[in-house]
Structure 1
Amino acid sequence: MVAAFPAAGQEWRATEKVAHYPVNGTTPMALYQSVGERGPKLSLGRVIAHTTFKLTWQRDYQQQGAACVLATAKPKLVVTYTLPKPAQKLPSDVAAKWDAFYEGIVAHEKLHGEFMRDLTQQIQDVSIGLRHENDPGCQKVRAALQAQLKPISDAHVARHSEYDRVEMSPGGAVHQLILAFLNP
C-alpha cells in the first residue's frame, strides 16, 4: 500500500510491508499459545503483532549568501507490520474466529502505521524552509533541525504508548479481540 502526502509542494509515498510469523495449532487456545511463544519479542516480552518503520531523508541544504536554507526534505518511509499466520489449514469455525481476530489486529497495527506517517509529515513540515543566518557550511541549520525533532519524536513515542495502553487495557479493543477469539 502506498499513501501520498502533499507537503510544501513536495509529495512523498510511504511503503508498507507485511512480514508473517508462523503459529501452530487448530484451536483458538493452541493458536494463541503459539502467538505467545513465537510473536515478535520486545523488551517486555512477546507481543501478538508489531509495527516498525525505517525513515530516511534526502535533504537539500542550500547556501543563500551567508545563510543556509533547508530547501527540500524528501522522506522515504517503509512501514513493516509483523503479524501472525497459521501454519496449517484451520477448521472452518476456528478460521472464522481467526479471521476476525486477525483483522482486528491488522486494524490496530495500521493505526500505528498512520502515526508513523503523521510523524514523517510533521518532520517534513518543520524541515522545509528552515533557515539559519550566518551559517556557512550549513552546520547551524542542521543543529536547529535536530533541536526541533526531539519534541516531535517524544510526542510520537508518547502517542504510541498511550494508544497501546488504552487498546490493551481491560475492556480495550485488543483485549476484546483476544477474549472474543478465545471464548466459545
Structure 2
Amino acid sequence: MWPTSLAILAAAGVLFCGAASAGTKLTVHVRTYDVAGRTGAELIEAMDGLGPRHGHATRAIAETGYTVHWQLDVKRDNGICRLRQADGTIDLTYTFPRRTSPSSPALSRRWDRFMAGVRQHEHTHGRIAKQMMRATETALAGLELQDNWFCTGLRWDARRRIDTIYADYEAKQNAFDVSEHRDGGHVEHLVMALIKP
C-alpha cells in the first residue's frame, strides 16, 4: 500500500458566547498544491512529497479541515436563563492536488477519475461536518435553566452539549476514514487506477 492517504484534519470546536448574529453560516475555501509527473506513479510520488501533512512522517493526498464557532444569545428573566439563539459558524477548507504537467490523453482521463474520487471522499467529510452543525442546533434549541445572574450553568450545559456532539461526529469522521482506507478499499482502488498504465 502506498504511504500516501486521503485524510481529514479537524480543528477543535470553539465556543464563543456573546451577541448573536442571525443564522448559521458556512464558509468554504479550496486550496491546491501543484504536482507534476509523466506517469500515475510519478504523480502519486509527488503527492506523497508535497501533500498536506498527516501526522509526523506522512502526507495526505487531500484534506478537509474545519473550525467551528458558536455564539450564544442568553437572557435571564425571573431567575430562568434561556438560550434565545445559538448561531454557529463552520469554516471548511478543502486541500486538493493540482496537476501541472502535460500528460497523455490516457493519463488525463485516469487523473480526472482519480480526482473525482478524491473530491467525493473529501466532500463526504464536509457533509459529516455540516450534519454535526445541524445536530448541535437541535441539541441547543429551547435550552433553559434556573441559574445565577451570569447563567453559568446554562453556558456550561451548552458547552457540554456542543462538545458531546462534536466528539460523536469526530468518531463518524474517523469511522468513514477507516472504511475508506482499509486494504482493498476505495482509497487503494483510486491510487491503483491512477498508477496502472
Same fold (TM over 0.5): yes
Equivalent residues, number = 175
Confirm whether residue 158 of structure 1 aligns to residue 157 of structure 2: no
Q: Which amino acid aligns with 2:32?
A: H
Q: Is the 8 A contact 1:12 1:75 kept in 2?
A: yes
Distance 1:148 1:12 in 2: 17
**Deviation string, structure 1 residues 50-86 (Cα, Å, up to 9, x no partner):** 1011222232111122111111111121211111111
Q: Alignment partner for residue 59 of structure 1, among 72, 90, 95?
A: 72
Distance 1:140 1:54 in 2: 25
Q: Is the 8 A contact 2:35 2:99 kept in 1?
A: yes
Distance 1:23 1:90 in 2: 12
**Aligned counterpart, 2:106:** 93
Q: Which amino acid aligns with 1:176?
A: H
**Aligned counterpart, 1:40:** 52
Unaligned runs of 5+ in 1: 1-9
**Aligned counterpart, 1:15:** 27
Q: Which amino acid aligns with 2:154?
A: V
**Aligned counterpart, 1:106:** 119
**Aligned counterpart, 1:5:** none
Instruction: Return the structure number with greater relative CO, CA threshold 8 A, min gap 6.
Output: 2
Give the CA deviation at 1:14: 2.1
Secondary structure (helix, strand or coil) at the match of 2:38 reads coil
Q: Which amino acid aligns with 1:86?
A: R
**Aligned counterpart, 1:167:** 180
Give the CA deviation at 1:13: 4.1
Q: Which amino acid aligns with 1:51?
A: T
Identical aligned residues as a percent: 26
**Aligned counterpart, 1:4:** none
Give the CA deviation at 1:144: 0.8
Give the CA deviation at 1:128: 2.6
Give the CA deviation at 1:175: 1.4
Secondary structure (helix, strand or coil) at the match of 2:183 reads coil
Q: Is the 8 A contact 1:67 1:136 kept in 2?
A: no
Secondary structure (helix, strand or coil) at the match of 2:92 reads strand
**Deviation string, structure 1 residues 76-120 (Cα, Å, up to 9, x no partner):** 212111111112233221111000000100000000000100111
What RMSD in Å do the two structures reach over aligned CA positions?
Answer: 1.5
Unaligned runs of 5+ in 2: 1-21
- When normalised by structure 2's length, the TM-score is 0.83
Give the CA deviation at 1:183: 1.4
Distance 2:68 2:163 in 1: 15
**Aligned counterpart, 2:37:** 25
Distance 2:64 2:144 in 1: 34
